[in-house]
Amino acid sequence: MIMFSVNPFLTLRRTFMKSVAISIMVALFLLHASPFIQPAISYEIAPLLAPSGVLRVAINLNNAILAHLDENEEPGGISVDLARELARQLNLDVELHTVRGAVRSVEAVASNDVDLGFFAVDPNRAEVISFTDPYILIEGWFLVRYDSHFTDNESVDQQGVRIAVGYGSAYDLFLTRTLQHATLERGPTTPEVVNYFVSNNLDVAANIRQQLEEDMERHPGMRLLPERFMVIEQAMGVCTSRDDAVTQFLNGFLQEIRTNGFLAESMARHGITGATIP
């Protein structure tokens, strides 16, 4: 009987080559399946998101967390960084349309005057805006005078209490739905809420926490109530008439910048504190 010996080096080589083949197959699968691989479909998404060939983006300067004007009166901030990075990935030029107020941003996107905006997610806006997943969370708080009798959020919602809000803001829409007894008085913009609260001798001011903290430095004798009254989810948004594939692509883009450090670095560069990445 003839005996055949097995070459251990040949067996090891075959095992190694098999492992390499499996690794290549896994890599090819991830290349086609992963939501992070944007360039593979960017040529299909670009004309759906930006049919003019230029990515037109609404930048709301009244949200100090997301945008501002720099010393040269040029827009900057988290939303500007995201818009430029998205345009870069899509190989598009970007055109920034600055507006004052969330209402104007919604109107611009809903009418397709721009392609994209940055919004607080709200069911009322969802009638005309398709939102992505949230990429940052900020908080709504109440501000009162030091000598006021308000001790918590529940004590605010009482008959006769007048609350200052920014017209059309996310916290305006939220409080409109949830308050049972107190009434809202709407100032023109979010940055003007505390000025409106003071000049009209109102009882409470509602706003995002960072804006209220800035205003407290200009208006001594104020305090925040102990807890937030809402969490505001910030998302990208496009007109509901746009293809669903656009929102899916944007979700992949946001997932990428959340995990690769781009968003955290942008927040740090612009000195944003008190906001969190979901």
What domains lie within the chain, and their CATH numbers?
Answer: 39-137+232-269 (3.40.190.10), 138-231 (3.40.190.10)
* CA–CA gap between residue 87 and residue 254 (Å, rounded): 13
What global pTM score does this model have? 0.74
- The backbone torsions φ and ψ at residue 230, rounded to the nearest 5 degrees and listed phi first, read -165, 155
- Per the listing, tokens 């809903």 go with 110
Q: What is the mean pLDDT of residues 135-149?
A: 95
- Residue scoring higher pLDDT (272 or 165): 165
Residue 130, pLDDT > 90, answer yes
Of the candidates 92, 89, 28, 82, the one whose C-alpha atom is nearest the C-alpha of residue 54 is: 92
Q: What is the mean pLDDT of residues 144-154?
A: 95
Calculated CA dihedral for residues 257, 261, 263, 267, nearest 10 degrees = 180
Q: Give residues with Cβ within 8 angstroms of 206, minimum separation 6.
A: 140, 141, 142, 143, 163, 164, 165, 171, 172, 175, 193, 229
Residue 125, pLDDT > 50, answer yes
Write the pLDDT tens digit of every residue in 217-266: 999 999 999 999 999 999 999 999 999 999 999 999 999 999 999 999 99
Instruction: Give residue 42's pLDDT.
Output: 59
Instruction: Give residue 62's pLDDT.
Output: 86
Instruction: Give residue 17's pLDDT.
Output: 52
Q: Give residues with Cβ within 8 angstroms of 262, minimum separation 6.
A: 81, 85, 256
* CA–CA gap between residue 277 and residue 261 (Å, rounded): 11
Write the pLDDT tens digit of every residue in 1-26: 444 444 554 454 555 455 545 444 44
Mean pLDDT of the chain: 86
Instruction: Determine which helix (DSSP H) or strand (DSSP E) holds 206, and give its type and residue range.
Output: strand 204-208
